[in-house]
Amino acid sequence: MIPRPTEAGRLAPPRLIPGTGRWPILLSVPHAGCNYPDWLVRLSRRGRDSLRPLEDPLVDRLVWRAQALGIACVIADAPRAAIDCNRAEDELDPAVINLPPGTGHDGWRVRSGLGLVPGRLAGAGELWRRRIGRNELEARLDTAWRPFHRLVAEQLALLHRAHSEVLLLDCHSMPWRAGQAELVIGDRHGTTAAGFVADLARQVAEREGFRVACNDPYAGGHVVAAHGAPVRGIHALQLELDRRCYLDASGREPGPGFDRSARLIQALAERLGSALLDRQAPPLAAE
């Protein structure tokens, strides 16, 4: 039997790994979830393996060195196939969600099958046996998407009370493509972080030996767009790391470059955090 709406509430909620608050940095990992409820697998046309290409494998483990510095991390444990935390609530694909006629989002991500609930993948075709109803969508949003963004907002606000400037590092991975950089830093073309933040991130990554590009081909998704507010001292960068840098040939297990890649994220967090701390307003001298 194809699962009904009441089963949609079984998605895993996001996790918060707390930090010390010493660093003005927050990590987020929206696409590493690999906990597939049975109802979601049954709803798919070709089973779990057809959904797993949507994952950013092991990125939740790749950030361990940065977490060891005392930096908090928000991790989405629900799979991207069920709900994509890096999409806006209105990025609705009428081919996937049962919407009133003439409604839905016409953005390029939705048209390509990668909306709030992904609908199709190159090489896999259509993902689902049927469209889902609005109640099912709301259950997924309430269980996974909204708590993820609430945690990110709360943690940034907590850091911002202690530091005049803070930075969200939204961590992803990308499939290898010929000629592509190993790390793509996205700030949505200068709108989610001050220019010096992306410039310094590039310098740090290049010093770590990585080939780097900015905003090409990934400028940043909903996470950095929703939470970055550089005019208020809240910066946000999306990091897309080539999976060949840290996975083995299977694309599912750590490869020989795993620790090098973990050190990259650690170096970015530490160096960018230090730069923001250096910019803190000095205390007023006593008269």
| pLDDT at residue number 75 | 98
DSSP 230: G
Total domains in the chain come to 1
| pLDDT at residue number 107 | 84
In a domain, 210, yes or no: yes
CATH code of the domain in which 224 resides: 3.40.630.40
In a domain, 4, yes or no: no
Low-confidence ranges of the chain (pLDDT < 50): 1-9, 284-286
Counting every residue written for the chain, the total comes to 287
In a domain, 284, yes or no: no
Token pair 């010093």 is found at: 207
In a domain, 2, yes or no: no
In a domain, 117, yes or no: no
| pLDDT at residue number 166 | 98
| pLDDT at residue number 253 | 96
Token pair 């592509």 is found at: 180
In a domain, 129, yes or no: no
| pLDDT at residue number 211 | 98
Which burial class, exposed, middle or buried, applies to 64 when counting CB atoms under 10 A from its CB (0-12, 13-18, 19+)? middle
Tell me if 49 sits within 8 A of 115, measured CB to CB. Answer: no
The count of other CB atoms within 10 Å of the CB of residue 5 is 16
In a domain, 108, yes or no: no
| pLDDT at residue number 282 | 60
Tell me if 112 sits within 8 A of 52, measured CB to CB. Answer: no
Task: Tell me the residue range of the domain where 178 lies.
Answer: 11-41+54-87+144-278
In a domain, 107, yes or no: no
pTM of the model: 0.94
